[in-house]
Amino acid sequence: MRSARSRAPSLALLFTALAALTAPAVPVLGQSVEPIRSTGGMVASQQWIASQVGADVLAAGGNAVDAAIATGFALAVTHPTAGNIGGGGFMVIRFPNGQTTAIDFREKAPLAAHPEMWLDENGAYSATMHHRGHLAVGVPGTVAGFDKAHRLYGRADWNDLVDPSVDLAADGFELSEALARSIGGFARRIEYEASKAAFTRNGTAYEPGDTWKQPDLARTLQRIRDARSDGFYRGETARLLAQEMQRGGGIITEEDLDRYEARERSPVTGTYRGYEVISMPPPSSGGVAIISMLNMLEAYDLRAMGHNSPEYIHHLAEAMRRAFRDRAAYLADADFADVPVQKLTSKEHAEWLRRSIDPERASVSHPSDVDSGYESPETTHYSVVDADGMAVSVTYTLESGYGSGIVVPGAGFLLNNEMGDFNAGPGLTNATGLIGTKPNLARPGQRMLSSMSPSILARDGKLFAVVGTPGGRTIINTTLQVILNLIDFDMNVQEAVNAPRIHHQWLPDRISIEEGGATDETVRRLEEMGHRVGVGGTQGSANSIAVDPATGERLGAPDPRSPDAGARGR
């Protein structure tokens, strides 16, 4: 059966034209373009103002961890769909000497959480309770994560990392076309009073070019500046957050906040055609899945197949199908479940998976004992490299765009709805898309499974690239394809970011291809092979950085799919 194909005009192209007015040269999707060069450090993020904040920290002598923290706080002010202090995420670090580490600041389930918490009084699963409202909020991790990263590896003064964001929130900044439209849409659809107040001027929507001030958020950031994570997890901010939970029927208490801890973890690592791949371990599924897919694909001459040829897309989709089946079956917070990371990332396991790939025919996915649920595409990724070669890859999120939509009254920041990344409830797996397998059920203090994949590549002991993206489950596949574009197709980093992407996640059993990513003939051939195919839309925002092996320059590649994205060198 031929699937419906969206033929909507590419928003990315429209955004690119708009962005040219407000941000540094943003490339056109699919065209061959040059990245932004710097002989010093580089920051690439989804919001050029935040990239500038990070680059200023580098210019003042801060290292890549310092710049990543400052950029993260600035995104919480300037990119409210996903930038946050009320959410969580992951930071992967590679030091100039080649050593690596990762900071896990994923949200946690509150102490009162339990696997059946999204069943209503009749015992029926409620997607609304699971994904919306106060029960969907996880204990935030971002501020603890930034504090931990700074204590361990930063060298700048903490105040200098938070102050630029205090100023951006207090004095305001000029709204771009895209951001004015986005916050206007959010303010129209949200019902919480404090949220409407934070995102409008006395109830009236902001216009592009208006200055947007966030005084409550500025005061919260001041408390974080003055008391580090205690300014968030204790005292006034914690009290306001717990008060809003009580008001709205949520379960996060001041004790939950007080007990939150970010964790330092060993990254998951693999190799691909001589490159070292460093990525996020559980509770993210991203690193494991990417390494597993690279291991499967290493046996093929992808370049000879041709970029986005039917043969290439078929082999990618088959590798994706298998990695996502493993993801559903095994992956969760490794502090709570036994996750066979070594096995899943081994060349032997990939060889075993690859043996079942038919070069001519699509396999068929069965919901059997596992199935997939919904994961929001609204997350954000940024990359940082400093002059010494320290590299930091950060992906963090509120889950949905604007998270739960709940702004903490008096504190001015949005809360996540990350509890939706836990499975629905025990035994609830069914063919409609619910998943109820054990490892990723909500338990007190457990972190929900993520797809976020902040990653770093190295070759011959030298930094090669920093990559990652938002996009829910598509994160894993977008990051994979940026890596393949760099390594197999010798694209420069901007071309690698721009090139159209595909996605397959086991279930639903379907290949999605970005608008312009495949010819009609390619789609017809894939359908002949037995694939269901949809074409349309855009996938991810992979703001990346590579290092020019010849000159050592940092090459910044903002993603043209994001209208306000920007890379800034220093």
**Nearest approach, Cβ of residue 144 and ligand GLY (Å):** 17
Name which of 365 and 451 has its Cβ closer to ligand GLY. 451
Contact stretch for ligand GLY (CB under 6 A) within 48-56, 134-142, 273-281, 374-382? 374-382
Q: What residues have CB less than 8 Å from 196, skipping those under 6 apart?
A: 187, 190, 203
Task: Please identify, using beta-carbon distances, which residue of 38 and 45 lies nearer to ligand GLY.
Answer: 45
Closest CA to 340 of 271, 276, 268, 424: 268
Contact 440, 332 (CB under 8 A): yes
Please, which residues have CB within 8 angstroms of residue 528's CB and are 6 or more apart in sequence?
A: none
Token pair listed for 460: 């011959």
Tell me whether residue 27 or residue 145 sits nearer to ligand GLY (CB atom): 145
> CA-to-CA distance for 24 and 564, rounded, in angstroms?
9
Half-sphere exposure of 465 (CA within 13 A, CB side): 27
247, two tokens? 């008001």
Nearest to 513 by CA among 286, 304, 312: 312
| Helix boundaries (H) for 45-141 | 48-59, 64-78, 127-131
Q: What is the number of the residue whose Cβ is closest to ligand GLY?
A: 450
User: To which residue do tokens 């901007």 refer?
Assistant: 494
Q: How far is the CB of 380 from ligand GLY (least distance, A)?
A: 11
- Which is nearer to ligand GLY, 36 or 467 (by Cβ)? 467
- CA–CA gap between residue 128 and residue 121 (Å, rounded): 14
Distance (Å, whole) CA 230 – CA 111: 20
Provide, rounded to whole angstroms, the least separation between the CB of residue 125 and ligand GLY.
Answer: 19
**417/492 with CB nearer ligand GLY:** 417
C-alpha count within 13 angstroms, C-beta hemisphere, residue 550:
2
The region of 148-156, 238-246, 314-322, 373-381 touching ligand GLY under the rule CB under 6 A is 373-381
Residues 338-357, mask of contacts with ligand GLY (x by CB under 6 A):
--------------------
Of residues 65 and 452, the one with the C-beta less far from ligand GLY: 452
Q: Which of 79, 77, 92, 198 is nearest to 153 (CA)?
A: 92
Mark whether 379 is an active-site residue.
yes
Q: Which is nearer to ligand GLY, 245 or 280 (CB)?
A: 280
Residue of 379, 380, 478, 538 marked catalytic: 379
Inter-residue contact 382 to 57 (CB < 8 Å): no
Q: What are phi and psi of 281, to 5 degrees?
A: -80, 180
Question: What whole-number distance in Å separates Cα of residue 119 and Cα of residue 313?
Answer: 40
Nearer to ligand GLY, 63 or 393 (CB): 393
Q: How far is the CB of 88 from ligand GLY (least distance, A)?
A: 8
Look at strands 511-513 and 533-535 and give their pairing. parallel
φ, ψ for residue 419, nearest 5 deg: -60, -20
Closer residue to ligand GLY in complex, CB, 471/556: 471
Please give the residues from 452 up to 481 whose contact with ligand GLY meets the rule CB under 6 A. Answer: 452, 472, 475
* Contact criterion met (CB below 8 Å) for 531 and 316: no
Write the DSSP symbol of residue 153: H
To ligand GLY, the closest distance from the beta carbon of 450 in angstroms equals 3
Q: Name the minimum Å distance from CB 470 to ligand GLY.
A: 8
Look-up of token digits 């060993």: 266
Q: Are strands 544-547 and 462-467 parallel, antiparallel or unpaired?
A: antiparallel
Residue list 375-434, contact with ligand GLY (CB under 6 A): 375-376, 379, 397, 399, 421
Residues 433-452 that bind ligand GLY (CB under 6 A): 450-452
- Three-state secondary structure string covering 188-205: HHCCCHHHHHHHCECCEC
Q: Is 372 in the site for ligand GLY (CB under 6 A)?
A: no
Give the Cα separation of 293 and 307 in Å (integer).
Answer: 17
- What's the closest the beta carbon of residue 397 comes to ligand GLY, in angstroms? 5
The alpha carbon torsion through 449, 154, 549, 496 (nearest 10 deg) reads 30
Rounded to a whole number of angstroms, the minimum distance from the CB of residue 399 to ligand GLY is 4
Distance of closest approach, residue 369 Cβ to ligand GLY, in angstroms = 22
Query: Which spans of this chain sit near ligand GLY (rule: CB under 6 A)?
Result: 375-376, 379, 397, 399, 421, 450-452, 472, 475
Which residues form the catalytic set?
379
